Amino acid sequence: MENDHDPLHPASHEPNPAPPFADPSLHLVVSDGPTWLITPADLATLPQTAVDNCLIVSTGHGTSGPFTFGGVTLDDLIAAYFDEPWREAEIVSADGFGNRVFAEEVVNERSARPILLATHIDGRPMSRREGLVRMIVPSEVDDALRQVKWIGRITFNS
């Protein structure tokens, strides 16, 4: 299992229930390019998308949801900040958990159930404890390893 020790693709994981600190701002980094510090208030100025019927399937703690998550699609985030081509994005949380997203996935999921940087849950602002700002990959219903809470940094690599 080549990915067993990759922190961006762990084979299994015991979920962390509590955020490491309160500040929900995150760094958006384009490798060999600019960096921005982005807050939930910044995300609120971008187009908003809601995706219903999302499940958080924790193999240890059972399934929660369905939830309606709201926020900014990765597509809309990129369109607002940069236009360099990119191949993969590394989404890393403030507690050192992470996941990778490939550009093809964003293209494939552009239609009905896009990948979100979620700031809202069931129509209300998400609390920090609930994961603000949380990546939601609606198509992932295996083990919640892609549902990254407390995003600290997103790096786009070409």
Ligand X SMILES: Nc1nc2c(c(=O)[nH]1)N[C@H]1C(S)=C(S)[C@@H](COP(=O)(O)O)O[C@H]1N2
Among 42, 88, 90, 95, binds ligand X (CB under 6 A): 95
Residue 150 binding ligand X, by CB under 6 A = yes
139 neighbors 109 (Cβ within 8 angstroms) = yes
Nearest to 87 by CA among 114, 105, 109, 99: 105
Residue 135 binding Mo ion, by CB under 5 A = no
Query: Would you state the structure tokens that stand for residue 57, as one six-digit string?
Result: 């399937």
What's the chain's Rg over C-alpha atoms? Answer: 15
Could you tell me which stretch among 24-32, 43-51, 103-111, 143-151 binds ligand X (CB under 6 A)?
143-151
Could you tell me which stretch among 35-43, 53-61, 76-84, 103-111 binds Mo ion (CB under 5 A)?
53-61
Binding site for ligand X (CB under 6 A): 13, 15-17, 56, 58, 61, 64, 93, 95, 97, 144-145, 147-150
Binding site for Mo ion (CB under 5 A): 58, 143-144
